Amino acid sequence: LNSKILRQDRDGLGAPLGRWRYPLCACCDVITQATFWMALCCAPVLLAQLVTRLHLNWKGKKDTRQEVSLSYNKIVLSFVAVLAFGNLPVIGTALILIYIIGVLLWTGRNLRKSIRERYNIPSSLPGPIDDCCCMLVCCCCSSIQMSRQTHNDKEFPGYCCTPTGLDLDAPEMV
């Protein structure tokens, strides 16, 4: 009977339903894994990997298959553009601010909301405030928490250079 109850509290890949697999500040538990370093050095790329893994568009929302397939490239190429043009006076500063607000905060908030809905995780604050605060206060910790929720990092550790951030033989999210 207990194993039946346990299975109802988890999705098909073993992620818990109704709660986060790991707390927000458990990011240092994976300091030796690629997920940690992606979040610390290239948070936009980790977000791109997550939207690809979850079959969402670059805005962190459900969309057509074609739009979803372009999401990784849109986020990563816009990050490269910010890196290339971010040093330009005035325009570079504006570009960086737009990118931080548009991709890191907005896409991250939508992605986090999608994950909470998928795993029935309640919000601790009303409306989108919870997800916005998590992305604003610590985008790295929030990105790692989202990544670890969507796969078993002990069985399939993160990879830097794949579109999903996982090994190619890792199970596909449904």
Assess contact for 60 and 113: CB atoms under 8 A.
Answer: yes
Q: How far apart are CA 116 and CA 119, in angstroms?
A: 5
Q: Please, what is the Cα angle at 61 between 132 and 162, to 5 degrees?
A: 95
Q: For residue 1, what pLDDT is reported?
A: 41
In sequence order, the 6+-apart residues with CB closer than 8 A to the CB of 159 are: 34, 165, 166, 167
Structure confidence by residue, pLDDT tens digits, 61-117: 999 989 998 999 999 999 999 999 989 998 999 999 999 898 889 999 999 999 999
Q: Among 152, 136, 113, which Cα is nearest to 35's?
A: 152
**Is the predicted pLDDT of residue 12 greater than 70, yes or no?**
no
Q: For residue 151, what pLDDT is reported?
A: 87
Q: Can you state the angle between helices 43-53 and 139-149, rounded to 10 degrees?
A: 30
Is residue 13 very low, low, confident or very high in pLDDT (cuts 50, 70, 90)? low
Predicted structure pTM score:
0.86
Q: How much is the average pLDDT of 43-65?
A: 91
Express as a percent the part of the chain with pLDDT over 90. Answer: 48
Q: How far apart are CA 90 and CA 171, in angstroms?
A: 45
Q: Among 3, 17, 6, which Cα is nearest to 149's?
A: 17
Distances (CA, A) of 151 to 12, 86, 130, 167: 11, 33, 22, 11
Q: For residue 2, what pLDDT is reported?
A: 41
Tokens of 104: 């890191």
Q: For residue 70, what pLDDT is reported?
A: 92
